[in-house]
Amino acid sequence: MERIKNRWLWQALFAVLLLAAGGATFNTAQAQEALVATLSANSHDITVGDVIPLTLRVTHPAGWRVIFPTLEKQWGDFEVRGQSVPEIVTNPDGTQTTIQEIKVAHMRPGEVQTPALTLSVANDQGSLSSLEVAPVPISVRSVLIEGDTNLREIKPQAELVSERHPYWPLMAAGVLGVAVLTGYGVHRWRRRKLIDRRTPRQRTLDSLAALSAQNPQTPIEIKAHCALLADYLRDYLAAITQLPARDLTTRELARRFKDQEIPPAWSAQVVEVLQVCDGVKFANEELEGPYLQDMISTIRHLVEQYPPQPQPAQRRSDHKKKVEVMA
């Protein structure tokens, strides 16, 4: 009795395994039936050299993935011009469709068909299966019209792209260069060494006039004016006597005057003015503002007095008049 029960148990287990295997086989077969691959041409009026867009559609269960091969440049009788990135679209019945566009061209007229194409499909478990794609017939007509003997281009001529650079960068660079050169020229002109074409006498008189226009009040201001007076007078002496008046003390300058052909009265007044200025500068002697103006007038008189300016030559008419008067 026990043996009979064990035999029935093993038979029932075997039947369950057979049903499971049959169900799995049925599901796999049903999933395989859901795999449909179609290749279609999106253009019908095709001539030699035209780019032919082909659309490859694969319908499969959701979660499955289609592996598209990378076609060679020469795919059978066709030239492959490009392959798009696959796109997945979900269908209303729950399945999915993977779409890829393939662009090809044919260089001879006639009836042709695409080569055989095999795809790989991975199910949701990762198992791979092969899927054949049926060829598509394509009719390619010639570009020549019957009775027309004129030659035509199979492909359009390549357009030479001439890079036309805009002119505004060159114009802007030119304007910028001119502006930089102009600025540099103005800077150099402002920093140029000015040539003072005035005579030593005129230069000294102009400096004394500018100093006389000021009105010093404090002892510090008067002391600064005395220093300027001494410098103006020494510069004038150096210009007319070739003596280093700036480097000599007043006493040394007085001794050197004796070797020069300078009127003693004139040189004595110059030494006197320099001694007054030295007393204010170095001994802090006090000097009133009016006396400072008197000193400026004295120096102006000395500058105008020596050396004497040449007298302009008298005209002949004046000489004739004098002769007539004397006569």
26, part of any domain: no
116, part of any domain: yes
Q: Counting beta carbons within 10 angstroms of the beta carbon of residue 78, is it exposed (0 to 12), middle (13 to 18) or buried (19 or more)? A: buried
Q: Can you read off the two tokens belonging to residue 75?
A: 């795919």
**CA torsion angle 221 223 224 226 (round to 10):** 120
- Are residues 209 and 282 located together in one domain of the fold? yes
Q: Can you read off the two tokens belonging to residue 44?
A: 């019908």
297, part of any domain: yes
What is the pairing mode between strands 78-83 and 74-75?
Answer: antiparallel
What is the pairing mode between strands 78-83 and 96-105?
Answer: antiparallel
- Are residues 40 and 131 located together in one domain of the fold? yes
Instruction: Note down the domain range covering 44.
Output: 32-136
For tokens 């650079």, name the residue.
165
pTM equals 0.41
148, part of any domain: no
CATH number of the domain encompassing residue 235: 1.20.120
Tens of pLDDT, residue by residue, the chain (327 residues)? 555 555 655 565 654 454 444 444 434 445 456 688 888 888 778 888 889 999 999 998 988 999 888 999 999 889 999 999 999 999 999 899 999 999 999 888 888 889 988 888 988 887 888 888 989 899 888 876 665 566 655 555 555 555 566 778 888 888 888 999 888 888 887 887 778 889 999 999 999 999 889 888 888 988 899 999 999 999 999 999 888 999 999 999 989 988 888 899 998 999 999 999 999 988 888 888 888 899 999 999 999 999 987 766 666 555 544 444 442
What is the C-alpha to C-alpha distance for residues 79 and 100, in angstroms, rounded to an integer? 17
- Are residues 291 and 211 located together in one domain of the fold? yes
- Give the list of residues 6+ apart from residue 279 with CB closer than 8 angstroms, or none: 285
Give the count of domains, the chain: 2
Q: What angle do CA 118, 120, 124 make, to 5 degrees?
A: 155
- Are residues 129 and 204 located together in one domain of the fold? no
210, part of any domain: yes
185, part of any domain: no
166, part of any domain: no
- Are residues 210 and 113 located together in one domain of the fold? no
> By C-alpha distance, which of 59, 62, 63 is closest to 126?
63
Q: Can you read off the two tokens belonging to residue 180?
A: 């930089």
CATH number of the domain encompassing residue 44: 2.60.40.740
- Are residues 297 and 211 located together in one domain of the fold? yes
What is the C-alpha to C-alpha distance for residues 275 and 51, in angstroms, rounded to an integer? 110
- Are residues 132 and 209 located together in one domain of the fold? no
Q: Counting beta carbons within 10 angstroms of the beta carbon of residue 289, is it exposed (0 to 12), middle (13 to 18) or buried (19 or more)? A: middle
222, part of any domain: yes
